[in-house]
Amino acid sequence: MGSFKDVVGHKDILKYISSAVENNRVSHAYILNGERGSGKKMLANLFATTLLCESGNSEPCGKCHSCRQAESGNHPDIIRVTHEKPNSISVDDIRTQVNNTVDIKPYQGPYKVYIIPQADLMTPQAQNAILKTIEEPPAYAVFLLLTENAETLLPTINSRCVMLKLRNIKDTLIRKYLMENLEIPDYKADMCTAFAQGNVGRAIMLANSEHFNEIREEAVQLLKHIHDMELSEIVAAVKNISVYKLEITDYLDIIMIWYRDVLLYKATKEIDKVVFKDQLQSIKEQARKSSYEGIELILESLEKAKARLKANVNFDLVMELLFLTIKEN
């Protein structure tokens, strides 16, 4: 869990947390909104730990009994809502873990903190159930809803929560973190930072991946030869990435960065911001052959494919539609 100094970026959110605790102006409900890997869980854990720290300071001391409990994940006043179904949080999950327990006073601290990861997976019934609690919460209850897309929540929930948006982190900070904290060599830190696109969690995941170079190379070869391949060959090649235990959306992000490079070069002829610098000749060739409309259509199709896969739409169907668009453009 660490401390405030371990957080890369997000200084505005840390400042807000410190100020709210120090001035006793803690709201009853917050939404921490940011993409996967942006640091929502870490910030939520630090917020909860700060609220319950026995030192009374504006950030956790890390030494008191409460901080040690929070660090080990065993604090009785920090409730992390879980769900059995991978793609939805049901009304029963909310009723059992939140509504039926919220009236029980904190066991040892001044607050009782509910952390709800993937809160945007709540069904409409689950959202309505938690809305009633958020509208009239006990004075000691604090709710931290972690979302990738807060817009999927009911407007009434959004209006009753303080929104904390996690923004992209500067490349210089991510690169520094990888080199100093994870002892990643500079050339690899440069590559992971470029592909992370401001997401420190993704940068760490890529830096720790034993197979990132292989995955990247497979993606490059696919993109170079895609126009000569059958759809069945393409889908089979994409399926092979599962052996590397990489999320398919991360793989699609690599392809998306390739086409952003193509679009960037086509529009500006500048190479400084191109991520695939070692593939510059192929990027130039792709830019020459592709139209602006075609590249933009591919980028839109990649976004749609990621959304459909998150919604658990058939993998083969999604991939066939995506790569058919890529082949035609």
Identify whether the C-beta of residue 39 lies closer than 8 Å to the C-beta of residue 166.
yes
Q: Which residue has tokens 């879980």?
A: 82
Q: What confidence score (pLDDT) does residue 96 get?
A: 93
What phi and psi, each to the nearest 5 degrees, are found at residue 149?
A: -140, 90
Q: What confidence score (pLDDT) does residue 226 get?
A: 82
Among 34, 32, 38, 36, CA closest to 158: 32
Token output for 186: 């500079």
Among 82, 83, 2, CA closest to 42: 2
Q: What confidence score (pLDDT) does residue 244 get?
A: 59
Rounded Cα distance, 130 and 123, in Å = 11
Q: pLDDT tens-digit profile of 134-175?
A: 998 999 999 999 998 889 899 999 999 999 998 888 888 888
Rounded Cα distance, 220 and 212, in Å = 12
Q: What is the mean pLDDT of the segment spanning 187-209?
A: 82
Q: pLDDT tens-digit profile of 234-282?
A: 777 777 766 655 667 778 888 888 998 999 999 999 888 788 888 889 8
